[in-house]
Amino acid sequence: MILSNGERQSIIRRNQRIKLITFLGVLVLLIAIIVLVENMLLSSLLAFVMSYLLSPIANRLERTGVPRWLAVTMTFAGVSLFLFGFGFIIFPVLAEQISSFRLDVPKYIEGTTRLLNHIESRINALVGDFYAVNLSEQAEDILIAWTTSLFVDLPRVLSNSLTTLFLAPFIAFFLLKDGRAMTHRLFGLVPNYLFEFTLIVFHQVNDQMGHFIRARLLEALIVGLAVFLGLWAMGFPYAPLIGAFAGLTNLIPYVGPFIGAIPALAIALVNGESALTIGLALGVFGIAQLIDIFLLIPVIVAKIVDLHPLTVVIAIIIGAQLMGVLGMLISIPLASAFKVIFVNLYHHTLNFRA
């Protein structure tokens, strides 16, 4: 049977449409599973972070001639062993700090409220005739809500997500070992006319995410370490906890570093530390930020897609409204991924077929 050119083209177009719908359908299904199945979102996010962190190690091992599965297994075994040993040293310290801090929390809340009361009475003495300021009542509510969420919700989330803790490394292992084969299958569904484009965009986004996650975590680790060392040298209470918190909040651009300094400031003020101690503690945070801005960001973070500060802030707000703290953390990598995809789509439609 000889087909006319028009008939051929319509068969080609129909097949391409079917392939495209199947490809998009599989993508939507995967995203739906990740978002809708309980524990899946956090597990997959953690798994992605893990696989991005570990892939350079696995690749390096593979370069010595070890097969992929063995390289990945060795990487996981090595890292688990290291974390286990490290945990033996660090967990007792952190656990002790957290439990003693938990006992101290009411004292700090009360102290902060007292402090605010003091400020309030000063302000009211100045402007009370015109406008009554009532900081402490609101602040106490907020502080209690925050600390409950930190000490009640967090462990609950963590223990609820024992599933997550098992599922995430499990997914990460197979992402590292078979991720290539999985994406390969998925690419097999892409219609021919979109294939090269999909391949480029996928790899660009993948590279960007890898750089982003490795760079930001390394940055957070160094900032947290710097804060810890500085405070510890000063003999400041809860230095490891404050350092860990500062490192974690440093992952949130712009606002994170300020949030990171709040606990230390509150503790110092409530304990009635001298102005010198408070100044020194703030100096430690300042130095950590200077290291971050002038050393870490230019050297290790510079490769990341740059988003306009306004975009960053808007992305963080959207993330916070949709998913709370987790949303704040993942908003920036997601925004960068969208940027890479849209820039490429634009570039593609304009230039790919000149």
Overall residue count recorded for the chain in this entry: 354
Residue type, 62: E
Choice between 156 and 185, CB closer to other proteins:
185
CA distance linking residue 302 with residue 211, whole number of Å? 10
- CA–chain centroid gap for 148, Å, is 22
Q: Is 309 in the site for other proteins (CB under 8 A)?
A: no
For 41, 247, 274, 304, 331, the CA distances from 316, given in Å and listed in that order, are 18, 17, 36, 17, 6
Report if residue 95 touches other proteins, rule: CB under 8 A: no
- What's the rounded Cα separation, in Å, for the pair 213 and 312? 16
Q: Compute the distance between CA of residue 82 and CA of residue 249 in angstroms, rounded to an integer.
A: 25
CA distance 248 to 211: 18
Question: Which range, of 179-187, 225-233, 255-263, 295-303, touches other proteins by CB under 8 A?
Answer: 179-187
- Residue of the chain from 135, 186, 200, 323 that contacts other proteins (CB under 8 A): 200
Closer residue to other proteins, CB minimum distance, 52 or 101: 52
Phi, psi of 251 (to 5 degrees): -70, -20
Q: Is 68 in the site for other proteins (CB under 8 A)?
A: yes
Task: Name, in order, each residue with C-beta under 8 angstroms of 251's C-beta and a sequence gap of 6 or more.
Answer: 216, 217, 220, 329
Residue 22 interacts with other proteins (CB under 8 A): yes or no: no
* Minimum distance, C-beta of residue 181 to other proteins, in the bound complex (Å): 7
Instruction: Characterize 220-232 residue by residue with b for buried, 16 or more Cβ atoms within 10 angstroms of its Cβ, and e for exposed.
Output: bebbbbbbbebbe
63 sits near other proteins (criterion: CB under 8 A)? yes
Number of amino acids touching other proteins (CB under 8 A): 27
Beta carbon of residue 73, minimum distance to other proteins (angstroms, whole number): 16
Would you count residue 181 as binding other proteins (CB under 8 A)? yes
Contact pick of 12, 28, 233, 287 for other proteins (by CB under 8 A): 12
Q: Which of 121-129, 191-199, 273-281, 290-298 is the region at the interface with other proteins (rule: CB under 8 A)?
A: 191-199
Residues contacting residue 39 through CB under 8 Å, at least 6 positions apart: 161, 163, 164, 167
Of 115-123, 129-137, 183-191, 337-345, the window that binds other proteins (rule: CB under 8 A) is 183-191
Please identify, using beta-carbon distances, which residue of 98 and 200 lies nearer to other proteins: 200
Q: Does 308 bind other proteins (CB under 8 A)?
A: no
The residues of the shown chain that bind other proteins, judged by CB under 8 A, are 3, 5, 8-9, 11-12, 15, 59, 62-63, 68, 180-181, 184, 187-188, 192-193, 195-196, 199-200, 203, 351-354
